[in-house]
Amino acid sequence: MSADDLISQLPDTPACFPYNLQIPNTYGYQPSLAAGVTYVILFGLSAVCHVVQAWQHRRRKQIPWLWTFVIGALYECIGWGGRLGAHYCAYSKVLFEMQISSLIGAPAFTQLGIYALTYIFASLLGPSCSPLPIKPKIYLWTFLTIDLTCLILQAIGTKIMYGSILFQLVFTCLFGILFLVVVFRGRATVRNCQPLQTLVFATTFAIACMVARGVYRGLELSEGWNGELIRTENYFIGLDGALMAAAVIVFNICNPGTLLERAKEMRNRAKGESNDRVADVEESKPASDEESGLESNKSNATAQRDKGSE
């Protein structure tokens, strides 16, 4: 049964009618006021921070991708705003559809940012770190296409939402494996660069949170709209709200734009020092055999001239 079928079976109740245990609604409970306020504040502040951080790096190539974190945090804020409103209007079909579409689709934008940053990360490490003999840009566009396809499928209707979430979860796991392979192959570079170490931690943490959240949403929807998981708000608060808040906020704390900029500066500095060392070695090398021979001939000629003058 889809969410539309569930809504059609419920009694026709005024949207902001006081919540009554005897009158069923689409949630199966009255949405928590405390959770709504908490997550609206968290995601709202995160979105503001991402705007500031994206603006700070507006002249860098990362700028289009940093804005995807802004969109993801805003969608989460809108979704939890819908649930906050549903605390007072628990029978509102508009608020129900607003929160479910926003909270289902919001992670896709955060994943877009992670995909793009991983592409930049892989390019920084070099082609030898690629797990397959194809360019990192192909990975980027492949996963972006899949992510956007899942987002469109989720927006079409709730009847195919379950399948699109599972499809997205599978490719998120696949992406996580590819990311770990890239990190493993470039471990020597990562080990010597603190900004890259921090970025690896933040990205791995965010991917793990999103995979765990995807597993929960998949199990939730597999039970149907009357299942225990979907009718127990504490699961949703902890396994969707908390996990997505952690995945979004970790990139406020470990700002990708700043970390990538520092990593590039360290790489360029290391290249400069390496070139200087090579130049010093070249200068300190003994004269070549040819030069030595010329010096020897000059010395012999000088000695002969001295003898002749005597």
- pLDDT means per 10 residues, the chain with 310 residues, are 61 81 90 97 97 82 79 96 94 91 90 86 77 71 80 68 80 87 87 91 95 92 86 95 97 91 82 57 52 52 53
pLDDT in tens, 56-111: 877 665 567 888 999 999 999 999 999 999 999 999 999 998 998 899 889 989 99
Mind listing the pLDDT tens digit for each residue in 185-207?
A: 888 888 888 999 999 999 999 99
Instruction: State the DSSP string of 148-210.
Output: HHHHHHHHH-GGGHHHHHHHHHHHHHHHHHHHHHHHHHTHHHHHT-HHHHHHHHHHHHHHHHH
Q: How is residue 249 written in tokens?
A: 């906020």
> Model's pTM, two decimal places?
0.81
* pLDDT number for residue 294: 47
CA 152, distance to chain mean position in Å, is 19
Domains and CATH numbers, the chain: 25-268 (1.20.1070.10)
CA atoms within 13 A on the CB side of 25: 26
